[in-house]
Amino acid sequence: MSRARAALLVCALWCAGSLPAHAATAVDTPVDPLNSPSWQYMRQRFLGKDPMVFDARVQVQMPSAAEDQMQVPVHVSAPGLTDVVDVLVFADLNPLPKILRYQPTSAAPDIGFRFKVEQSTPVRAAMRTRDGVWHVGGAWLRASGGGCTAPSVGTGQGFWQDRLGEISARLWPQQPGLERLRLRMIHPMDTGLAAGIPVFHIDRIDMRASDGRLLASLQTYEPVSENPVISVDLQHSGPVRIDAHDIQGNRFAATVTP
């Protein structure tokens, strides 16, 4: 923690010196507090040359070790960070690092979900604020192997074929103008890495007010767990429409009333 804080301080200084005019030196990536072997590549791939800081306000909460590699629970949040327009969650050392992307248009930048992990890895959240800066936080997850390359449970049972896309959901009003949405969809979320099972996953879940106004938009990738369970906090009161689709073009929709 103190190491992370020290690193944050270093990056904050670095950024203060380089923003916005001197961002051309962006290849001088600040020191990774998680000391990951592939941080440089992750940064290049996901954040490009955008300015970034390691920011302890961006929290990735999860158990330190994976009890079930197929269903590792993660909760991403950023207490004290405002104006977040884009959230990207990835695991450096997963064969498929990108887990999800989330635009909290009228929502807190917080999201709960579960994912499949292949081996011990840093799990990171990068949050882009309106000023264009990525704020990055994360933690190490210990795991011993096998989450991404094992077939989904449902694929073996044929259970999903009858219930594909079935949505179960509920709204919990938190305070005026803020409500939690929890939803679960039935989908195998196959990674394509298990022998003989092609990639097949939900790739978009939009949450809208009943007048069609977009509240939040979520893009899910291969590592998101089978039969995804998602928790988000919407700045909204009243019913929410869920519109989702998978990479084969199947569309799923539901309306949730408080």
Q: Which residues bind another protein (CB under 8 A)?
A: 61-63, 67-68, 71, 73-75, 112, 114, 144, 166-170, 172, 180, 182-184, 229, 231, 242, 254-256
Q: Tell me the closest approach of the beta carbon of residue 158 to another protein, in angstroms.
A: 20
Residue 14 or 115 having the CB closest to another protein: 115
H or E segment to which residue 60 belongs? strand 59-61
Q: Tell me the closest approach of the beta carbon of residue 107 to another protein, in angstroms.
A: 14
CA distances from 27 to 40, 114, 201 (A): 9, 32, 34
Report the candidate in 240, 231, 126 with the shortest Cα–Cα distance to residue 182. Answer: 231
Residue 51 or 104 having the CB closest to another protein: 104
Residue 110 or 246 having the CB closest to another protein: 110
Torsion-angle region of residue 196: left (phi > 0), alpha (psi -120 to 50) or beta? left
Residues 6+ apart with CB under 8 A from 248: 200
Q: Tell me the closest approach of the beta carbon of residue 67 to another protein, in angstroms.
A: 4
Residue 38 or 71 having the CB closest to another protein: 71
Residue 41 or 172 having the CB closest to another protein: 172
* C-alpha–C-alpha distance, residues 87 and 75, integer Å: 12
Q: Tell me the closest approach of the beta carbon of residue 198 to another protein, in angstroms.
A: 26
* C-alpha–C-alpha distance, residues 223 and 114, integer Å: 9
Q: Tell me the closest approach of the beta carbon of residue 258 to another protein, in angstroms.
A: 11
* C-alpha–C-alpha distance, residues 163 and 123, integer Å: 31
